[in-house]
A and B are shown apart, each in its own frame.
Chain A
Amino acid sequence: MTPILGRFIILASVLVATTGAFIAYAAGAKRSPEGLRWSQRFAYAFAALMIAATGVMEYALITHDFSVQYVAHVGSTQVPLWVTIVSLWSSLEGSILFWGFILGIYIAVTTWINRNDHQEYMPYAIGTWLSCGAFFSFLIAGPANPFLTVANPPLDGPGPNPLLQNHLLMIIHPPMLYLGYVGMTIPFGFAIAALLRGRLGQSFLRPLRASLLLPWVFLTIAIMLGGWWAYEVLGWGGYWAWDPVENASLLPWLTATAALHSAIVMERRGVLKGWTVTLIQASFLLTILGTFMTRSGVFNSVHSFTQSSIGPTILIFLAAVLLFSVALLSFRIDSLEAEGQLDSAVSREGMFLVNNLFFVVLTFTVLIGTCFPLVVEAVKGKQMSVGRPYFDAMVVPIGTALLFLLGVGPALPWGRASRKEMQRALLPPFITGAVVLVIGYVLGVRNPWTLITLLFGGYAAHVTLAQMWLPLRQRMKRGDSFGPALIDTQLRRGRRRFGGYVVHAGAVIVFVAIAVSSTMRTQQEVTLTRGQSTTFAGYTVTFTGTEERAEPNRQSTIAHFNISKDGKPVTTMEPRMNQYATMREPIGTPAVHSTITRDYYISIMNLQGDQAGVLIINMPMVGWIWFAVLMMGVGGLIALIPMRRRTYVVVPERAPEIDSEVVA
């Protein structure tokens, strides 16, 4: 019964999304308010169907209905309830359904928020979203159908991939990633609407920017959680391996970050509209490419958990969207172009241009590095690799240049800077940078790239803090006294600006923490017999024995280590090896002892009788990365909170929609 209901809902959603898309585009072309209302209804209906289909699947999972093929694949009566619930996104079919679920919610919420606004653009936007919705419903209905039935239902299933059961981070990382990935559909729809309309008015910049910023925040957090998961689970003491799937999540983040910056120039100067729209389209295309990379099984990856036949379908969709976007851009980009001008290249807007250049080159480099082995193998039939050493060599210089811009850009004034202004703006932060550099050197930093990062980081930190402080200082000059009330108005009035600088501050910490943790890391491999100890990086590690623990879905061997410093016990660490019934090789879970300054990391390489072969890693500052990325996300959210509409505006709340007037 359940699978039939599920299939019925999915077929209905294909129908609703397709019809809704046609109605919406027609409403856009005819500028029909009635048509817009109907397309809104179809958008809500699509969301309702997607939520219902996901509900049906969760019901099947929780009730262990093994007649449903997906449940037979990933379900198990032996796993805890939370694993059963998150099994929805543990394998291909379920994760595409989950995609549809999130897409539905995004579409419905955005449609509802703008139900009375931007009527000029909304029909085209809804049409574009529902077209994407139609594609994903089609995927769920056909190539990735989770509601297929099993003729002879098994009594129990194998449960989801053990790597996913290994850590609680797996509950939040995939949803965050999907919220980021799927969310890029929304600004894409807005961008297509602007292109189809041939206009991008000032008041439409706001929903465009907000719709881009929200998925950006999710994606930022998701990338960090993915790295953190790799660090906590994979046992090699790293968080980023330039693995194709990691790159797939980074690519749209890079273009979206570039777009968020160019949107600021667009808002201030009226230029770069076509460029911003292009970046938004690229971000969406890269999410689809990323889905292809993750889901097709073409790429080798530690994060890739599914191989399937939906690769070609996604590739066709990607090609279609690419052609459509490029064609639309080439016909319409002129209609969006420059209304304003730049005064001087050496200004804040000039730095924005360079920032965009670096972000795009970075995207291109990561894309080339990721896809190059595939191309070579297809063309020349030879296998080759492009791995971490390549990416490190290419990305570190560009990243360092971006950190430099992060400092210099906000220091330069808008418009045109005089020589004196430039000196005043650029020199003092340089002193802070030099101080940070010297402190780093004294603490033992010798790697030239890390030293440069410290210099630029100190510079950027000075500028960022000065910019946060600037409006407060201006207001105090005007006579307001410093106090909570002042800060309060400050936060409310300049929230966007403030949020932006919180993101920048987080980014500076991320840069420095990555540089320090990767170049200052030390490690040691030792084999310890029970009772034996070794001293490494200030701690004495004593192996006190192992313990077996049987859990329903796995057999764990836990090794106990006492950590002491100068004879005084500090903590105990318990890395483990987990043997899952469904896997041949055991999976290790390292133990991490985090302090403010550094992480002490123990990973089991092998366990034999009384002997434990362990990898001990000492990594300074690594914990700062998670914290600082979280700070970037929080900064993004601060910038997202809508401003209170000012009460002294005399026009009625529903002023006649100027947007929908025909452009003469």
Chain B
Amino acid sequence: MIATLFLLAFMQIKVPDAAQFVGAPQGTPLTGPQLERRTMEISSELRCPVCQGLAIGDSPSIMAANMKAQVRELLERGYTEAQILSYFEKSYGQFVLLKPKFQGVNALVWILPILALAGGFLLVVTKAKKLETAPVKSAAPNEPVDEPTDDLYLARVREMVDKQ
């Protein structure tokens, strides 16, 4: 599979025209520091196909350097971030996108944590309500004590009181 990717990368260097994949550029051509900044940003969202899960912006490999050069070139020609990402996705598959799209099964990776947060929030609220109205079984210390269990003797006394 890595060999195929190498081949693909090789072919793309030969076929630099992104137009047949994503159409005409839809943004404004970039130059100077802005070009560098955007190249860096987009490079951090693309996965280097021959590395161990590194972004092309982070990888020292030759392939990553080539891909980064491609990103820079596409930005210079006025392609937008969405177009560039979709160009690489069409070439390498969604594998290359480090930020999964909100689409199909992949949407779950975005939805699940938010569901967990919402569910957890409900749980905390109900738990807090329940605890607020719970009958007092033991005398909870109201005054903050510096070190409640420091004193073994005190802890034992407290434990005996608890049990009664």
Contacts and interface: CB of A to CB of B under 8 A. Distances in A.
A206 B121 CA distance: 30
B146 A494 contact: yes
Contacts of A342: 128, 131-132, 134
B149 A267 contact: yes
Contacts of B125: 345
Nearest to A605: B60
A384 B162 contact: no
B53 A664 contact: no
Nearest to A379: B105
Contact of B142 (A360, A415, A471, A646): A415
B65 A605 contact: yes
Contacts of B14: none
A340 B139 CA distance: 7
Contact of A368 (B52, B109, B140): B109
A388 B44 contact: yes
A401 to B, nearest CB: 10
Contacts of B155: 202-203, 206
A328 B107 CA distance: 34
A608 interface: no
B106 interface: yes
Contacts of A241: 53-55, 58
Given A268-B148, A387-B47, A387-B55, A353 B128 contact: yes
Interface in A473-494: 493-494
Interface stretch (A35-43, A122-130, A389-397): A389-397
Contact of A394 (B40, B113, B124, B136): B113
A597 to B, nearest CB: 22
B8 interface: no
A357 B163 contact: no
B152 A385 contact: no
Interface in B111-162: 112-113, 116-117, 120-121, 123-125, 127-129, 131-138, 140-142, 144, 146-153, 155-156, 158-160, 162
B140 A270 contact: yes
A301 B113 contact: no
B63 interface: no
Contact of A389 (B45, B52, B106, B136): B45
B90 interface: no
B83 interface: no
A385 B140 contact: no
B95 interface: yes
Contacts of A243: 52-53
Given A345-B128, A497-B146, A658-B159, A390 B99 contact: yes
A112 interface: no
A442 interface: no
B98 interface: yes
Contact of A341 (B100, B136, B162): B136
Contacts of B127: 353
A205 B53 CA distance: 42
20 contacts: A202-B158, A205-B149, A241-B53, A243-B53, A342-B128, A342-B132, A344-B132, A356-B124, A357-B117, A365-B113, A372-B109, A376-B106, A383-B95, A384-B100, A385-B47, A388-B98, A390-B99, A643-B147, A651-B153, A659-B159
Q: Closest 7 A-B residue pairs measured CB to CB?
A: A387-B98, A389-B99, A236-B58, A342-B131, A365-B113, A340-B140, A203-B155
Given A388-B44, A659-B159, 5 more contacts: A202-B159, A369-B109, A388-B98, A524-B36, A649-B153
